[in-house]
Chains A and B, each alone.
Chain A
Amino acid sequence: MSKKVHVQTIINGEDVEFLCEPRQSLLECLRDVIGMTGTKEGCNDGNCGACTVILEGRTVTSCLVLGVEVDGKELTTIEGIADGEKLHPIQTAFLENAALQCGICTPGFIIATKSLLDHNPDPSEYEIRWWLANNLCRCTGYDKIVRAVQESAKKIKAQAGG
């Protein structure tokens, strides 16, 4: 059996160390090695976006990143979006707009939305649809997700203003 590699990383602001095989994806490391199952697997080949995380400020599909590649890097996952027990405005907006049905794609969409609004706090509907086209949802037809993202932008702006 292959030798395991020691990886040191920062996940959601906390120092995390783990051992993994070189062939294990970041997704597998998060879920099976560290036990953070909030990041979901839908296809394991980079096409559905359910496993989206933010790596060094960029959204990536964690199934296409190797666990060993995040050594010394900083990650944000769905588990790090809320502030303790207080939901992030994006999470609240998804709930209030019924933007999830089965919920399996939701962590990926929330991460993608966070990244979008970090880059562009006031996106047009086209920009929202363009940015979220990396994430597949089969339940909602995206309509309520787009509304939730628009609402999130408003909430975040209001928070910053107030």
Chain B
Amino acid sequence: MAKVFIPALLHTFTKNVSEIDVEGNNVRTVINNLDMEFPGIKLKLVEGHRIKPSISVAVDGNITPMGLLEEVGEQSEVHFLPAISGG
């Protein structure tokens, strides 16, 4: 199972759960399964068929441009972060 880290600003929503193990072989299924635990969280992360533009998803520490399609391994860590860019 992948370890999903809940962003600090969603801790109220998850009743202070900050980490949770979730099944899933890619980010899409992980989010779907996360939504079973915390109904409604998917809407906070996903817009249509993609991660919200203001959010990045990192699998094993790497912010992935693949978004929902990124593969997730058994031991993977999944983080949701604010999107960043550079100068």
Direct touching of A and B (C-beta under 8 Å): no
